[in-house]
């Protein structure tokens, strides 16, 4: 009896499900409204509905992979418990001082967000570890007991971050403090920086650990509820949680390190995009994940998503490996307005799901991107499957108010709204491509999300991208990505060594980090296949402030450090691509040794059912592609487009979860994987 793999992605408006039979590749998808007060409720109700639709018995579900927004929403809303901080004497204000960087460089009135921990809940303790791991000032047991008494006296703290200087070199003091507090105060959550992210740069390490402590009570409760409920519905299912770095981890590790889930949902979309591209033999992709409120973009090279090791979320700095996703406030619900300078702006404010765009007929009155697309005829008022009927009259009235203030026609105002949001998304793509040394013309654009296909051709033209690939189910690609995900764990050891000196410490660190990975593979990935290790060195010129990650190889066994000249050449190549120049005579140093351990999980090809027969237009209507005149345009239902189908624009392709606009001068081909390949004469 074949088993099922299910991916569940929780969004702000909808919770998406993708189910795939591990043996036959049979697929089912499902959507239901999210339940923000308790995201697990939508998961459980939707899972029961999916079982009924697909006829899936609970004991046939082998794995459930979950992308969660619980951590993200908690940070955005600052919704969490009272947190405490224990640090080396004299450093309790470090989390507030930060890097002394203003959030808006030209706005002297804008303040950085206050730290997650109040000053009266930051506790100092006498101890000091030196930069080489030596004990400068011993830690006394009596001081730990005094700290415990002070924690008891507050009565309010529910979670604690322990962040001592140089604990990433020598974690002994942190380990003693954390162990004794857990023993004395078992109801208190404790996060130690040497466990969360043992890496140099104290502010980033402190901030990351503090965020982990802030999230731990809420996320742990959520994981416990979800695990128990899934156990009742699908007793054999292994529950995996998607992390920001692009892989799955166990629910136990997610509860202990919730900071790793801060970008869980968008990262799953990037992984799904890489998998969809691979089915069409396309490895170099720029993603365009456009939803109702925002757009996420990511660069994929040779089938691998780009990653970064530090970024800010909701104004808080996190130093952890994460998929490099750039987000801009450009979505279908983004509101158009006239700014004080008399110019039209679009976003980042959004109409959201409630009241939503005016065309939804749910009380919204302000013009949005979706309203502009309805006015232009690009978003049909009756979508495939009849799931939603849009109100063209309300959309025209909303856009007309903008047009009247600008003194232009309603059509020109709608074209302006679309043009502005396209420009916003174009800038976001340049941030992950051109600004990082990549030519976007060398990549294929992949639009997904509910609205990506409406804007893809125009965005591609502005970047000079000539090819677009639209996956089979754009609206649920994040859930599909969860099915494709690998089991993954990241490790880091800070070791500083110049390349013109002995590298014994680097080799020792490489051996140590490899053994950590072996232990994780034995404990967490014993049932997975093809375990392997990908090693990266953080390198820089001596005197530089930040490092470049240089991948040195992938191995199933113990990784080997390349020769020094090889390391230099790899660094020069990365530096030239990133900054446009190299200095071959300057000294180079290594700062961190990183290792990503991955193992493959069972998955099926999941090829969708092939459409039948020669497709014909389901309808025709007028669409405005410019301000001159509307063009009579054929509307096709995607389910009728079989492999090998070729169409020429103008056309509109509709499906249950998305709409794709094909302007004049653009050709569409359906490939063997049933992905839509668009090629344009523009650009």
More confident site: 657 or 420: 420
Contacts (Cβ under 8 Å, ≥6 apart) of 230: 44, 47, 64, 237, 239
**Confidence (pTM):** 0.88
Q: How confident is the model at residue 614 (pLDDT cuts 50, 70, 90)?
A: low
Does 50 score more than 70 pLDDT? yes
Q: How confident is the model at residue 527 (pLDDT cuts 50, 70, 90)?
A: confident
Q: What is the pLDDT of residue 33?
A: 78
Does 176 score more than 60 pLDDT? yes
What's the CATH fold of domain 486-600? Dna Ligase; domain 1 (3.30.1490)
Q: Which of 553, 585, 591, 559 is nearest to 572 (CA)?
A: 585
High-pLDDT (> 70) share of the chain, %: 96
Q: What is the pLDDT of residue 12?
A: 66
Does 352 score more than 80 pLDDT? no
Q: From CA 34, how far away is CA 72, in angstroms rounded?
A: 15
Q: 135: left (phi > 0), else alpha (psi -120 to 50), else beta? A: beta
Q: What is the pLDDT of residue 609?
A: 52
User: Tokens standing for 529?
Assistant: 């296949």
Q: Which of 600, 590, 578 is nearest to 492 (CA)?
A: 590
Q: What is the pLDDT of residue 1?
A: 46
Q: What is the pLDDT of residue 671?
A: 94
End-to-end CA distance of the chain: give it in Å, rounded: 51
Q: What is the pLDDT of residue 388?
A: 66
| pLDDT tens digits, 192-237 | 999 999 999 999 999 999 999 999 999 999 999 999 999 999 999 9
Q: What is the pLDDT of residue 10?
A: 85
Q: Residue 382 carries which DSSP code? A: B
Q: What is the pLDDT of residue 44?
A: 92
Q: What is the pLDDT of residue 385?
A: 47
Q: What is the pLDDT of residue 71?
A: 85
Q: What is the pLDDT of residue 39?
A: 85
Task: List beta partners, residue 444.
Answer: 285
CB 343 within 8 A of CB 417: no
Please state the rounded mean pLDDT for residues 235-261.
Answer: 92
Domain boundaries, the chain: 4-74+227-265, 80-219, 486-600, 622-680
Q: What is the pLDDT of residue 78?
A: 83
Q: How confident is the model at residue 13 (pLDDT cuts 50, 70, 90)?
A: low
Range of lowest pLDDT (98-107, 321-330, 563-572, 674-683): 98-107
Range of lowest pLDDT (396-405, 595-604, 605-614): 605-614
Q: How confident is the model at residue 188 (pLDDT cuts 50, 70, 90)?
A: very high
Q: How confident is the model at residue 461 (pLDDT cuts 50, 70, 90)?
A: very high
CB 212 within 8 A of CB 191: yes
Q: From CA 318, how far away is CA 321, in angstroms rounded?
A: 9
Q: What is the pLDDT of residue 279?
A: 93
Q: Return the H-helix or E-strand segment holding 21.
A: strand 14-21
Q: From CA 540, how far away is CA 500, in angstroms rounded?
A: 13
Q: Is the peptide bond before 631 cis (omega within 30 degrees of 0)?
A: no
Contacts (Cβ under 8 Å, ≥6 apart) of 417: 336, 344, 346, 367, 368, 369, 371, 372, 399, 402
Does 615 score more than 70 pLDDT? no
Q: What is the pLDDT of residue 604?
A: 60
Please state the rounded mean pLDDT for residues 420-441.
Answer: 94
Helix (H, G, I), strand (E, B) or coil at 440: helix
Please state the rounded mean pLDDT for residues 632-650.
Answer: 92
Does 266 score more than 80 pLDDT? yes
Q: What is the pLDDT of residue 387?
A: 55
Give CATH for domain 4-74+227-265. Answer: 3.30.420.40
CATH top class, domain 80-219: alpha beta
| pLDDT tens digits, 528-540 | 888 999 999 999 9
Please state the rounded mean pLDDT for residues 365-378.
Answer: 95
Does 64 score more than 70 pLDDT? yes
């Amino acid at each position: 009896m074949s088993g099922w793999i299910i991916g569940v992605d929780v969004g702000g408006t909808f919770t998406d499900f993708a189910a795939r039979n591990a043996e036959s590749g049979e697929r089912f998808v499902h959507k239901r409204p999210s339940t923000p007060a308790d995201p697990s409720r939508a998961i459980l109700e939707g899972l029961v509905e999916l079982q009924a639709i697909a006829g899936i018995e609970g004991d046939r579900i082998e794995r459930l992979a979950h992308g969660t927004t619980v951590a993200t929403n908690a940070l955005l809303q600052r919704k969490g418990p009272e947190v405490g901080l224990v640090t080396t004497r004299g450093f309790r204000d470090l989390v507030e001082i930060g890097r002394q960087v203003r959030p808006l460089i030209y706005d002297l009135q804008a303040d950085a967000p206050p730290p997650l921990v109040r000053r009266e809940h930051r506790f100092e303790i006498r101890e000091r570890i030196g930069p080489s791991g030596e004990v400068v000032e011993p830690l006394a047991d009596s001081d730990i007991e005094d700290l415990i008494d002070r924690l008891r006296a507050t009565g309010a703290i529910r979670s604690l971050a322990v962040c001592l200087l140089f604990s990433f070199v020598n974690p002994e003091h942190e380990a003693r403090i954390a162990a004794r507090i857990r023993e004395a105060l078992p109801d208190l959550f404790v996060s130690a920086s040497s466990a969360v992210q043992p890496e140099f740069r104290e502010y980033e390490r402190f901030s990351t650990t503090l965020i982990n402590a802030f999230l731990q009570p809420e996320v742990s409760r959520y994981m416990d509820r979800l695990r128990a409920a899934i156990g009742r519905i699908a007793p054999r299912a292994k529950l995996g949680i998607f992390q920001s770095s692009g892989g799955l981890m166990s629910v136990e590790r997610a509860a202990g390190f919730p900071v790793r889930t801060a970008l869980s949902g968008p990262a799953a979309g990037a992984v799904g995009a890489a998998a969809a591209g691979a089915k069409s033999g396309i490895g170099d992709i720029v993603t365009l994940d456009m939803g109702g409120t925002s757009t996420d973009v990511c660069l994929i090279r040779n089938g691998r998503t780009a990653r970064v090791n530090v970024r800010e979320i909701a104004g808080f700095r996190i130093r952890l490996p994460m998929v490099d996703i750039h987000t801009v406030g450009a979505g279908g619900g983004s509101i158009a307005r006239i700014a004080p300078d008399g110019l039209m702006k679009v976003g980042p404010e959004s109409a959201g799901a409630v009241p939503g765009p005016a065309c939804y007929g749910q009380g919204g009155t302000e013009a949005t991107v979706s309203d502009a697309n309805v006015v232009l005829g690009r978003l049909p008022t009756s979508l495939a499957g009849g799931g939603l009927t849009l109100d063209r009259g309300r959309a025209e009235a909303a856009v007309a108010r903008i047009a009247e203030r600008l003194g232009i026609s309603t059509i020109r105002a709608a074209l302006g709204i679309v043009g502005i949001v396209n420009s916003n998304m174009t800038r976001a793509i340049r941030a992950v491509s051109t600004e990082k040394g990549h030519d976007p013309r060398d990549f294929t654009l992949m639009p997904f999300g509910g609205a990506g296909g409406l804007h893809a051709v125009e965005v591609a033209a502005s970047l000079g991208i000539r090819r677009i690939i639209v996956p089979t189910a754009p609206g649920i690609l994040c859930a599909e990505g969860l099915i494709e995900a690998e089991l993954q764990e990241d490790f880091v050891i800070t070791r500083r060594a110049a390349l013109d000196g002995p590298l014994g410490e680097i080799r020792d660190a490489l051996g140590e980090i490899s053994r950590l990975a072996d232990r994780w593979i034995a404990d967490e990935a014993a049932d997975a296949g093809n375990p392997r290790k990908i090693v990266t060195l953080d390198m820089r010129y001596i005197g530089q402030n930040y490092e470049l990650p240089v991948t040195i190889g992938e191995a199933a066994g113990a990784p080997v450090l390349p020769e020094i000249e090889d390391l230099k050449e790899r660094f020069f190549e990365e530096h030239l691509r990133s900054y446009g120049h190299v200095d071959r005579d300057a000294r180079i140093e290594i700062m961190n040794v990183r290792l990503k351990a991955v193992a493959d999980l069972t998955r099926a090809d999941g090829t969708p059912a092939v459409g039948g027969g020669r497709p014909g237009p389901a309808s025709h209507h007028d669409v405005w592609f410019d301000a001159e005149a509307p063009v009579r345009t054929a509307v096709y239902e995607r389910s009728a487009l079989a492999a090998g189908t070729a169409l020429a624009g103008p056309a509109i392709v509709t499906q249950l979860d998305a709409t794709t606009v094909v302007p004049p001068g653009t050709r569409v081909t359906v490939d063997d994987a049933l992905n839509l390949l668009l090629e344009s004469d523009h650009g």
